[in-house]
Chains A and B, each alone.
Chain A
Amino acid sequence: MADKSAEQLSVLVDGEFEEWELEFAVRRLAGDPVLKTRWEAYHLISDAFRNNLPDAVDPRFAERVSALLAAETPLPTSTRPAVPSWYKPVAGIAVAASVGVLAVALWSLRPDELHQAGGPGLAVDTATSSPTVSPLPLAEADDPAPESRNRLNSYLANHNEYASLNSVNGVLPYVRMVGYESGAYPRR
């Protein structure tokens, strides 16, 4: 197992991972102090071979930077959860347009997320909502999720068009459309 990790680390140092593997490898490296120490050692060796070493080497440099970052006071932000609830981080925005028809997929939703709107965290606020609210059961597993997702996305796109023209900063609705990278938000 240790050999496997060492091998992967070597591939990582050499920059030979595919992009999709890279993210996984970096995540693993970040969570393993032994691997991190070994990573630094490999780079030290590599730099020594290439005669790239500075006059003085601080072996705890990364550790000290991490400690300082951890001690930073976080910027004040809203106490609201940053987790999107009914629309999810953009897993992608769709492609292009033909005449008269645009293809836009905004916030991506999974079927279970779409239909758990009445579940924990998204319960209907009976104290403030209209008495006409009609809670419905959760969806069956075979619900056509992409269709539901597309319905919602097209509504959001329409809203953003109007919002962009009636906003103090007309660029923001569009930024909201493309500004969320897939996986950038934790999922609730």
Chain B
Amino acid sequence: MYFPALRLAAVLTLLLLPVKYTFAEPANDAQQWLERMIQAARVLNYEGIFVYVQGQHLEAMRVIHAGGDAGERQRLFSLNGSPREIVVADNRVICVIPEQHASLGAGYRRSPFPITLPLKLDRLESHYEFKFAGEDRVAGLDTRVIVIQPRDKLRFGYRLWLNQDNGMVLRSALFDETGQMLEQMMFTSVQYKQEIDPALLNPPASATPPPQPTGPAQEEAKPVVEEAQPGWVLVDADLPQGFGRVTHYRLPAKDDRRAPEHIVLTDGLATVSIFLEPLAGSHPLLQGPAQMGAMNAFGKVLDDYQVLVVGEAPQAAVQMIASALRSPPPAVAK
């Protein structure tokens, strides 16, 4: 028998069902949402206010963000306490504080290489589980909630609220290896713009350059950067599974010291840095474990080098990475 009215009703029913009930969403759809999220960070223009909570500490901040072909540029302002701000533009980071605190300024031996560390989504599946956790509303906008659950105790977990319309992170929470929340941020308002006035992304006039040192130290302004020499070895078998080295370079030398080295490792999501600083008689910066909020660190002295491991990873992972490092054999120049 043929019932056109019934068939029409069935089709209409399917069409009118809310999407979330129509099809089960496979895990890799969560990855597609993460790809949207990454894209959103690169291209969107917006201004917004968000709150940041870490432990008992609460901050309100304003952000102006511009994406596009010129690269990602953003400016952050603290809205409570002493005024602080940071401008990230043209591969530069500029921090601004009230003048009375400016004396803490120091030469920032910055990474000389263009930074390209895209999220390696395909690598993530082995170490994290991706799940949808429903829908929610943040800053008056509809969001899709995604949970990124680590498969072991050597990395942190995430809960992300992504704007349904464009994938932008409107809220995020970071959890430690025991499931305790370490920090979270949440937009309370956001306005998307066609364009951001470039003047809004300029550092304020008060951000005058610090007095430059005289003499040989001035050479730092044009650092000559060497590729790191081979020598230091990271034993893969001793690293937390999935972590691999993505870059290793020598920072510009300071004074007459030998240049420190910076090794960056990632499991595709978490980033951990190893800094190797020749001590040459100076005091070590850190020995043992340390922590602030989401960042863990472990320091030790190895072969007259300060080894400093820092990252958004559990203390156990940071210590494993420190232990996986072997100093160069005597024949290799350091």
Q: Which residues of A contact B (CB under 8 A)?
A: 76-82, 84-87, 90-105, 107-108, 114-115, 117-118, 122-125, 128-130, 132-136, 139, 143, 146, 148-159, 161-172, 174-182, 184-185
Q: List 22 A-B contacts (CB under 8 A).
A: A92-B101, A95-B102, A98-B221, A103-B209, A104-B105, A105-B105, A108-B104, A117-B288, A129-B298, A129-B319, A133-B300, A134-B300, A136-B301, A150-B106, A159-B271, A161-B115, A166-B118, A166-B270, A171-B65, A176-B295, A178-B78, A181-B82
Apart from the given pairs A151-B277, A155-B275, 7 other A-B contacts in the complex at a CB distance below 8 Å: A93-B96, A94-B210, A96-B209, A117-B290, A158-B110, A181-B80, A182-B81
Cβ contact of A174, chosen from B54, B55, B86, cutoff 8 A: B86
Please indicate which of the listed interface residues A94, A123, A175 has the most CB atoms of chain B within 10 Å of its own CB: A94
Do B104 and A101 touch across chains, with their CB atoms under 8 A apart? no
Q: How far is the CA of A159 from the CA of B145 in the complex (A)?
A: 28
Residues on A with C-beta less than 8 A from B298 are 129
Q: How far is the CA of A78 from the CA of B210 in the complex (A)?
A: 38
- In the assembled complex, the CB of B117 is this many whole angstroms from the nearest CB of chain A, namely 4
Do B76 and A171 touch across chains, with their CB atoms under 8 A apart? yes
- In the assembled complex, the CB of A171 is this many whole angstroms from the nearest CB of chain B, namely 7
Please indicate which of the listed interface residues B95, B169, B209 has the most CB atoms of chain A within 10 Å of its own CB: B95
Cβ contact of B312, chosen from A133, A163, A177, cutoff 8 A: A163
Number of A-B contacts (CB under 8 A): 321
Do A95 and B106 touch across chains, with their CB atoms under 8 A apart? no
Cβ contact of A161, chosen from B72, B110, B203, B295, cutoff 8 A: B110
Residues on A with C-beta less than 8 A from B322 are 129-130
Do A128 and B290 touch across chains, with their CB atoms under 8 A apart? no
Q: Which residues of B contact A (CB under 8 A)?
A: 34, 37, 41, 52, 54-57, 59, 61, 63, 65, 72, 74, 76, 78, 80-82, 84-86, 88, 92-111, 115-119, 148, 158, 160, 169, 172, 174, 176, 180-183, 185, 203, 207-210, 212, 220-223, 247, 251, 260, 262, 264, 266, 269-271, 273, 275, 277, 282-295, 297-302, 308, 310-312, 316, 319, 322-323
Do B271 and A166 touch across chains, with their CB atoms under 8 A apart? yes
Do B292 and A85 touch across chains, with their CB atoms under 8 A apart? yes
Do A80 and B291 touch across chains, with their CB atoms under 8 A apart? yes
Do A162 and B264 touch across chains, with their CB atoms under 8 A apart? yes
Do A184 and B221 touch across chains, with their CB atoms under 8 A apart? no
Query: Taking A92-B97, A96-B96, A176-B294 as contacts, is the C-beta distance between A167 and B312 under 8 angstroms?
Result: yes
Nearest A residue (CB) for B255: A147
Cβ contact of A77, chosen from B55, B104, B116, B223, cutoff 8 A: B55
Do B57 and A76 touch across chains, with their CB atoms under 8 A apart? no
Residues on B with C-beta less than 8 A from A180 are 57, 59
Do A96 and B94 touch across chains, with their CB atoms under 8 A apart? yes
Residues on A with C-beta less than 8 A from B54 are 82, 176, 179
Cβ contact of A158, chosen from B109, B183, B316, cutoff 8 A: B109
Q: How far is the CA of A162 from the CA of B78 in the complex (A)?
A: 22
Query: Taking A77-B181, A148-B283 as contacts, is the C-beta distance between A104 and B93 under 8 angstroms?
Result: yes
Please indicate which of the listed interface residues A93, A135, A136 has the most CB atoms of chain B within 10 Å of its own CB: A93
